[in-house]
A and B are shown apart, each in its own frame.
Chain A
Amino acid sequence: MSSLVHPASGPEGQGPSGSVPPVILTSDQTEHAATIRQFVEGDTPWDRRLMKGSQWVNPILVKETRQALKSKQFSFTLILLTIVVLAWSILAIVSMIPSIYYASNGAPLLIGYAMILIVPALIIIPQASFRSMASELEDGTFETLSLSLLSPRHIILGKLSVAALQLMIYVSVIAPCIALTYLLRGVTLDVIAMSLLILISCSLTLSTLAISIASFSKNRVQQVFFSILVLGAQVIASIAVGGTLSATVAFGTVPWEGWISFGVFLLAAILYCWLFLRCGGCSIGVVSENRSTPIRVPLLTIGLVISMLGGLLAIRNGDRNTMSAMIAVVLNLMFVHWGVAGSIMMGEQGIIPARARRSLPNSLLARLFLTWLNPGAGPGYLFILLSFAGSAITLVLSCQLLIPITNTDVGLHTLAYAITLVGYLALYLGIVRLICLATLRRLQTGRLVTALTICLVLVIAAVVLTCSINLAANNYQRLTYDWYCFPNLFWTLAELFPDNISQTWNSAEFLSSIIALLFCASVVAFINIVLTAKDVVILRIETPKRVEMERQRLRGIRTQDDEELDEGDVLN
């Protein structure tokens, strides 16, 4: 007996080669085909439903779940967790007898469960995620995976969903015990909810960071280094989460400030996870792809969120005397965000891949204003500078407009602080870019880390140099701020920080220092802008017709050629 099996067809499954002749199966093979059908479709109706649903799930999740169910690590962790939870439950209940019958004893029990859950949630799962991604790169399986239709985003999200599934299983093991703590009284539902939310969000954040960091490691040395880094972060996070959970449970209830703080943490975690996932995706993506724009979008969003949230917080909580100090803190946060991102960005190669050039705007005017998100250190410099300057000055002015500060001097002080920060960003990033342009022309890998290192060295050198000169000028007796100390950003910002309204920030030394800084920053920025002009004159290239048609076909849009082909079929 033989049966016909047709090869894959249809837009999703079709081999681009077109038609492949059907395979004729022998009776022996038909038996095997039945086994394959059983595997693909499932035995029972429940299996069939699951298998049908699973085809819409990320393939990585399906693969890794199958692997996890057969792996010793997962089984061992699950069994160990169950045993420890049971042991803790029995031990705690026995030790609480007889007070357990009349006193509220839920809190200590819940703290114990939370501590037990911290180990798999914050240590085992993120480490497993790190290893999973790192071993793909190390073993060479990633190459075969990358040749499939799975995008880097799919791969990373698949790994993350595996971490989420494992966490769900571990939480479900401990869930009945947590319900028991509620029955024993002493803990409210909001405390339980907050504890679980903190654990789950921290676990997923750590897993995201672990997967993203693992995708940066291209060799064994980097893997070991990053692995230690991730482990360090896990230990610190475990201690911090442990402390927070104990305090929350001991407090007995969650105040509204607690929910707001958690909300802010969650927002920050989501935004930075988004950024890290994008970085990880770009790191393992196709080299010729535009890998800068997808990273710049979350960077800009985070910058804007910090500025808006900070502004709201300053207006909501700050009185007129402390508002300027709060704004300065927010400005510092923004400065660190843009400074770190910018110094890494300065190492980008100023080459716009042909593929990215297909989507460039056509007119010169549009190119002038819409190329900040394009790859390259030049557009990156403008992007960082304009984003930071725009959001910082808008923050200062809008805060002053909403709550006018009676003392105009304080308002000017805050504005001067913001302008100084912009000056530092323009100066240091500009110098880093010029150094990179001069020295890193031939360097293909490690450019971003090199640029970050150059920036750090520059900042440290400026601190050491200015302090040495100042000490020498004062006979090695004391440090007194003078105008030539402007390259030392820490010292200048500390002196200029608007925490005291009676501060004499507009003295001759400060003003000349700011003027010197702005002058140098303007010169460096001007040189950089002139050098960036070449990125604006790059012309758009046309997408080949065949590529355009293929992309339309993949999107399910019928082209004229398809219709002509169909007409041909009908005629034939």
Chain B
Amino acid sequence: MVDVSVANYHQSTDPMIEMRRVHRFFGKTKAVNDISFEVYRGQVFGFIGPNGAGKTTSMRILSTLELPSYGDAIVDGFSVINDPDLVRRRLGFMPDGFSMYPNMNCVEYLDFFARAYGLLGKDRMSALRRTLSFTGLDKIASKPITGLSKGMRQRLCLGRAMIHSPAVLILDEPANGLDPRARIELRQMIQQLAVEGTTILVSSHILTELAEMCDQVGIVERGQLLATGSVAEIQRRLQGSTWVQLVAIRQGEQLEAWLTVKPKVSQIARTENKLSFQFDGGSEEQAELLKAIVNADFLISEFAARQETLEDVFMKITTGAVQ
């Protein structure tokens, strides 16, 4: 008699976005295959995966534009299946490919969506002001949409998604096709929104950017979530190794031979006196290794450890297979 899909009362500490064993099939293609994760208030969650991994489908399910074949997705405590109208009230969605109405300018476009979200009078005016100023479109408010550059259109689309101050923003490839400056500005906007308490789910191909702005990432491939958590957490879970770069003064060959027999050291590469190798240990073990090298009378001029980046992790986890 009780609908178990939604908790009776949503606490502020509960996740804002929750995917519960979501599946989505298109014929025999499993676009989304058993994806579950949670995103909490004010967090930025990065969705990473190759083309056709199921990112957009997952985002469309969360935005109530697609129904899951199995499972449920919850936004701010409301099910996308049973209460899509309530989900839509607290959601802003910026799709990957979007088209706009002809014969309209920026402010008319945003004004239409402000009206569509039921904003009246002064509320509408302040929402317009806030959005135009936030997205930097206030200077070109009366410019026709058809004359906007790609970056400006992306800003306008972001403005449309946030005009009603939604609790959750879903951004599908927002930085796609933007120049470096526009990308940096977009990243700053997303970070600012997160600071203001908006929960953001963002997908992108530019992994360095995601690593900088996301609290958590989810790596998907062939419809399955392969790893989730912060980049550091994922590295830990993968027992992420560290790349060490070492420059010796003379005796490079001997040092290579010496390192070969050492535990936790692998994949040694040498160019004269410059060595690099993979080291499966923490920072204390690194220090121990350095001490041992010095004690073994090798003269070292440089010792640098580099953690795996999100790109390394992504390449390690995914296989590049498509369905």
A interface list, Cβ under 8 A from B: 5-10, 12-18, 20-21, 23, 25, 29, 32-33, 35-37, 39-41, 52, 55, 59, 62-63, 66-68, 70-71, 139-141, 143-150, 286-289, 353-355, 358, 539-547, 550-551
Contacts and interface: CB of A to CB of B under 8 A. Distances in A.
B27 to A, nearest CB: 10
Nearest to B128: A36
B275 to A, nearest CB: 52
28 contacts: A5-B126, A5-B130, A7-B127, A8-B124, A12-B118, A12-B120, A13-B123, A13-B127, A15-B164, A23-B129, A32-B132, A33-B133, A35-B138, A35-B141, A40-B111, A40-B125, A59-B115, A140-B95, A141-B101, A144-B95, A147-B63, A147-B91, A148-B116, A358-B82, A545-B8, A547-B6, A547-B78, A550-B78
B208 interface: no
Nearest to B66: A287
Nearest to A551: B86
Contacts, number: 202
Tell me if B's interface is mostly helix, strand, loop or mixed.
loop
Contacts of B9: 545-546
Interface of B: 1-3, 5-10, 63-65, 67, 76-78, 81-86, 88-91, 93, 95, 97-104, 107-108, 111-113, 115-121, 123-130, 132-134, 138-139, 141-142, 160, 164-168, 196-198
A5 B8 CA distance: 36
A66 B132 contact: no
B196 A21 contact: yes
A472 B130 CA distance: 82
A41 B125 contact: yes
Given A16-B89, A547-B83, 13 more contacts: A7-B127, A20-B197, A23-B129, A23-B130, A36-B107, A36-B125, A39-B128, A70-B103, A140-B97, A354-B81, A354-B82, A358-B3, A544-B7
A23 B121 CA distance: 18
Contacts of A8: 119, 123-124, 126-127, 130, 164-165
Given A10-B123, A63-B101, A67-B104, A149 B93 contact: no
Nearest to B139: A32
Contacts of B115: 55, 59, 62-63
Contacts of B63: 147
Contact of A67 (B99, B103, B128): B103
A31 B6 CA distance: 47
A230 to B, nearest CB: 22
Given A541-B3, A546-B9, A16 B166 contact: yes
Contacts of B166: 15-17
Contacts of B138: 29, 32-33, 35-36
Nearest to A354: B82
